[in-house]
Structure 1
Amino acid sequence: MIIRNLHLGCETFGELLEGAPGLSHTLLAQRLKQLERLGIVEVTPKALGRGHRYLLTESGDDLFTVCVTLGEWGARWLEVAPEHLDPFVALWSMCNALRPERLPDRRVVIRLDFTGYRRHERYWLLVEHADTEICKEYPGLDEDLFVTADAEAFVKWHLGQLSWAQAIRDSRIQLDGPSWLVKAFPTWNGRSMFAHIKPDRRIGKTPAAIT
């Protein structure tokens, strides 16, 4: 996750931590120190303010290609395990790969309610000037679109394992808002880099998947 997040452009400790749910502050600090010792990550002071910037070295870029290969293998051969159905991870990944040319030219606030994953979770997505921000608390702005989604369906849509049409037809994803926004929302999606890989049909007929 750390290598992926660095490749996606996360440079601060906070950005890396936000994109790695389940990874503690202490463990992330330890991993970054280890990656720095191995010459995979370069750490430099911020130009302004306190803190550091974390960047992949040439070795780190090469390691990312290894991660991609492992991801492709997993997308083809492994089932999505229940612990990997965190909708925040899918939402975070989606926001780091949105198609800016398809985003509206005005501010849009989207409320997302996820069900079926541990507990009910609610987030707000702010879209403005081709930039996005995920809020865990109500941002105090008028909401333009309401999305209610089964967490598994949302994650599998992002991964390319479930079509938007099928999720809507089965009422696993529901949208309420202006028709133009309802139609536009799924077209913004920066799908997973592995969304083009079709799972092998033998998945589920083999022993428990490796997580």
Structure 2
Amino acid sequence: MPDYGDYCPVQMASEVVADRWTPLIVRELVLGNTRFNDIARAMPGISRSLLVQRLRHLEKKGVLETWPAAAGRGHEYHLTPAGKDLVNVIDSLGRWAIEWLFDDLRPHDVPPTTLMWWMRRRVNVEAFPPVRTVVEFRHTAPVAQTIWLVLDRGDVSVCHQHPGFEVDVTAIGTTADFADVFQGYRTWTEAVDEGRIEVLGPPRLTNALPRWFLWSPWAEVTRERAERAARDPEVAQG
């Protein structure tokens, strides 16, 4: 890691968290991903060796610590008090990008698998159905792909093959339309009403589905920014 010197607090902080990928790792820890594979799946493009390097760097700097895995083998990564103090930093970075780089954001470019892992980490456990529920997401474009989320007693599994349980709810749409909802460009209800997303299943489940997810932490600010840009195209330029 480069040495920026110890004569300025911003320089010192940059040495800890400003290298490429490091803020995204902190983002994943802030949002509740604690296992190595889960962090890797939510960050397409980073090599496993580089992820190991960055995690070790953050542990050395006191931003995170490792705990024995609560279940199974291996260990988990958890933020220390110093790491938790970065929550507002990560939030501010996201808000800054939405405000000033809005026209450069490409929410539709997210791969289907990555989007489903993002949705997994943003489930609303308190709103879960009381019994195991399988939600089938049929991505129709740009690549046809079906991914299942299994909600079961406070846990969520992402399956790329049929989980072997009966599907309770099916959502059909493009990856771009699912991403728009997750990021906050439109609500789930709007996407369904506009015909962008089709939902199949018992009404009690299809009506409840939007409450099972908390969506992006920046969904509200994204929606407000998109509305301003729609009213005044010049706003989209920041």
Alignment TM-score, normalising by the size of structure 2: 0.75
2:184/2:218 contact within 8 Å kept = yes
Report deviation, 1:92: 2.5
1:40/1:59 contact within 8 Å kept = yes
Unpaired runs of 5+ residues, structure 2, are: 1-23
Q: Which residue is 1:162 aligned to?
A: 186
Q: Distance in 1 between matches of 2:124 and 2:58?
A: 31
Q: Which residue is 1:140 aligned to?
A: 164
Which string of whole-angstrom CA distances, capped at 9 and with x for unpartnered residues, describes residues 153-201 of structure 1?
1111112211223312332111112222221112222121111211142
Report deviation, 1:98: 2.3
Residue 170 of structure 2 aligns with an amino acid whose one-letter code is F
Residue 94 of structure 1 aligns with an amino acid whose one-letter code is M
Which string of whole-angstrom CA distances, capped at 9 and with x for unpartnered residues, describes residues 45-97 of structure 1?
54776433322122222223211101112233314315643343333233323
Residue 44 of structure 2 aligns with an amino acid whose one-letter code is P
Q: Which residue is 1:100 aligned to?
A: 125
Residue 132 of structure 2 aligns with an amino acid whose one-letter code is R
Q: Percent identity?
A: 32
Q: How many residues are paired up?
A: 206
Determine if the alignment matches structure 1 residue 88 to structure 2 residue 119. no
Q: 2:237 aligns with which of 203, 206, 210?
A: 206
Q: Distance in 2 between matches of 1:160 and 1:60?
A: 27
RMSD: 2.5
Q: 2:134 aligns with which of 99, 109, 114?
A: 109
Alignment TM-score, normalising by the size of structure 1: 0.84
SS of the residue corresponding to residue 196 of structure 1 reads helix
1:96/1:190 contact within 8 Å kept = no
Change (3 A) 1:48 1:181: closer
Stretch of structure 1 that moved more, 145-154 or 159-168: 159-168
1:86/1:155 contact within 8 Å kept = no
Higher helix share: 2
Residue 136 of structure 2 aligns with an amino acid whose one-letter code is R
Residue 126 of structure 1 aligns with an amino acid whose one-letter code is V
Stretch of structure 1 that moved more, 43-52 or 170-179: 43-52
Residue 134 of structure 2 aligns with an amino acid whose one-letter code is V
Report deviation, 1:145: 1.5
Q: Distance in 2 between matches of 1:98 and 1:10?
A: 12
Q: Distance in 1 between matches of 2:155 and 2:67?
A: 26
1:95/1:190 contact within 8 Å kept = no
Q: 1:69 aligns with which of 92, 96, 108?
A: 92
SS of the residue corresponding to residue 132 of structure 1 reads strand
